[in-house]
Amino acid sequence: MATNLNIEVTPLPRVEGHGDLVLDVKNKKIEKLQMRIPESPRFFEAMLVGRKYTEPSHITSRICGICSVAHTFTSLQATEDALGVKLTEQTVKLRKLINHHECTQSHCLHVYFLAAPDFLGVGSVVPLIKTHPEVVNIAVNMKKIANEIVRIIGGRAVHPITTVVGGFTRIPSEEDLLRVKEMLLSLYPDLETSLKVLKTLKMPDFERETEYLCITNKEDYALYSGDIKSSDGWIIKPQDYLTKIKETVVQHSTGKHCSASRDSYMVGSLARINNNFSQLSDNAKTYWEEFGLPVPCYNTFINNIAQFVEIVHCVDDSIRLIDELLENGLDEAKSVPDVKPKAGRGVGAVEAPRGLLIHDYTYDNDGRIAKANLIIPTNMNYANIEKDMAKLVPEIIEKTEDEIRLACEMLIRAYDPCISCSTHMLNVELINK
């Protein structure tokens, strides 16, 4: 039993980037609880100043290798909004296809490689190669297919090339899309097997209701575009994000903290399912119900399951998109960019795998950036992570220090924090004074 604890996990392993957790408990009371983010600040808002409108998507893609596609599209949307560029249906559908498979790739990496070892009591995916070869093979194959789809359409799996302001430098052929469809259809047995395995994992019993934010639109389960929706009952245009979302600099983190209607909110798969469940594919809804989970669901650990269910949705929806693209026939001319620089402000909002992502650019007359603001999903989650931990730790204070340390790490990992993204990594520090 832990009366006094001094836990420091530095660096927090199996998260993308660099973060530390500091937890100091005296006489069962939390004295200090911080997610410290010492990851090097990158200063993208400064790097973007003066750059030509063709470049921000290539620059901001490098904020994060794992969500390079989401950054690319948010950036393109912001630029297109500012320059008044309209896209064809073909371009939007091809972009959605790429976006879906960055989501699948990233969720797959997180659920199978980074989070699953916790539930199976090991330190990494490496021992699982021996103990759970079938699951590791499924994960490797699924990730490979997702990366291959991004590569076929985007030109490269990490940091896509073909996606530019106003369209594509090159579109895939109909044969390419048929090949992608084959690959997607081959995934269904793997999803079934995964469902059986994931159902056996015991998710920690923990609940804390909070505000959930994501994008939403009438046409589909919003991942690529939409207005910003809060579970607290408001919807705003992306351009008006500053009327609701506040950012503050805190000393223990190079990642800024965010708040909206309350003092913290959550973004990511669980937020999207809580806000937009009815628009999931029927198949994905069935998967969710297989886990016996409610909607909305207030257990942060279930974000892992929500990610898996979104993989199912992305596979289903990609097949729909491909069928529609093939039915209309692919036409390179429909994705050739036609862009003229002009002054103005534009905002892009996309669901990155780990949550809402916003880019806000102001261009000058020559089509160069005068001002940029980027709000990153992991930053949005920091305050909420600290609030979750403040509730979780007293609930498990009777456990051993190792168990508490692991539970805290698992909670943070459930958010799938991408700290390189938020400019900022994870390290658990239990302090015992």
Partner 1 sequence: MSKPKVGVFGLTGCGGCQLEVLNLEDQLIDFINAVDIVHFTEAISEHSDTYEVALIEGSVSTMHDVERLEHIGKVAKIIIAVGACACTGGLNCLKNLYGTEKAKELVYGDKKGWIDAIDTKPISEYVKVDYFARGCPPTRSEIVDIVRSLIVGKTPEIPSYPVCVECKRLGNTCLYEFGMPCMGPVARAGCNARCPSVKSGCEACRGSIDDPNVNAQKDLLSQYGLTVEDIMEGFNLYNACVKIEQKTK
Residues that bind partner 1 (CB under 8 A): 11, 13-18, 38-43, 45-47, 49-50, 52, 55, 58-59, 62-66, 68, 109, 113-114, 117, 123-126, 129, 136, 140-141, 143-144, 147, 155-159, 161-162, 164, 169-170, 249, 251, 254, 418, 420-421, 425
Q: Give the β-pairing of 211-216 and 265-266.
A: parallel
DSSP 340-396: ----EEEEEEEEETTEEEEEEEEE-TTSBEEEEEEE-HHHHHHHHHHHHHHHHHHHT
**Shortest distance (Å) from residue 200 CB to partner 1:** 22
For partner 1, give the closer residue by CB, 3 or 186.
Answer: 186
**Shortest distance (Å) from residue 124 CB to partner 1:** 4
**Shortest distance (Å) from residue 158 CB to partner 1:** 5
For partner 1, give the closer residue by CB, 229 or 424.
Answer: 424
Please give the helix or strand (H or E) that residue 283 lies within, else none.
helix 282-290
- Give CA–CA dist 352/75, Å, rounded: 12
- Give CA–CA dist 131/116, Å, rounded: 13
Give bridge partners of residue 52 from the DSSP assignment.
368
**Shortest distance (Å) from residue 4 CB to partner 1:** 24
For partner 1, give the closer residue by CB, 55 or 232.
Answer: 55
**Total number of residues shown for the chain:** 433
For partner 1, give the closer residue by CB, 59 or 319.
Answer: 59
DSSP 207-244: ----EEEEEE-SSSS-SSS-EEEETTTEEE-GGGGGGT
- Give CA–CA dist 304/415, Å, rounded: 8
Question: Cis peptide leading into 11, omega within 30 of 0?
Answer: yes
- Closest Cα to residue 430, out of 141, 1, 2? 2
Cα distances (Å, whole numbers) of residue 209 to 30, 231, 270, 288, 296: 21, 10, 12, 19, 9
**Shortest distance (Å) from residue 156 CB to partner 1:** 6
For partner 1, give the closer residue by CB, 65 or 204.
Answer: 65
Give me the sign of the Cα torsion angle 92, 260, 383, 266: negative
Question: How far is C-alpha 38 from the chain's CA centre?
Answer: 21
Under DSSP, the state recorded for 165 is T
For partner 1, give the closer residue by CB, 125 or 392.
Answer: 125
For partner 1, give the closer residue by CB, 156 or 340.
Answer: 156
**Shortest distance (Å) from residue 368 CB to partner 1:** 10
For partner 1, give the closer residue by CB, 201 or 295.
Answer: 201
**Shortest distance (Å) from residue 277 CB to partner 1:** 30
For partner 1, give the closer residue by CB, 56 or 346.
Answer: 56
Please give the helix or strand (H or E) that residue 192 lies within, else none.
helix 188-200
**Shortest distance (Å) from residue 310 CB to partner 1:** 19
**Shortest distance (Å) from residue 367 CB to partner 1:** 13
**Shortest distance (Å) from residue 267 CB to partner 1:** 19
Give me the sign of the Cα torsion angle 211, 217, 222, 226: negative
For partner 1, give the closer residue by CB, 284 or 419.
Answer: 419
- Give CA–CA dist 239/421, Å, rounded: 22
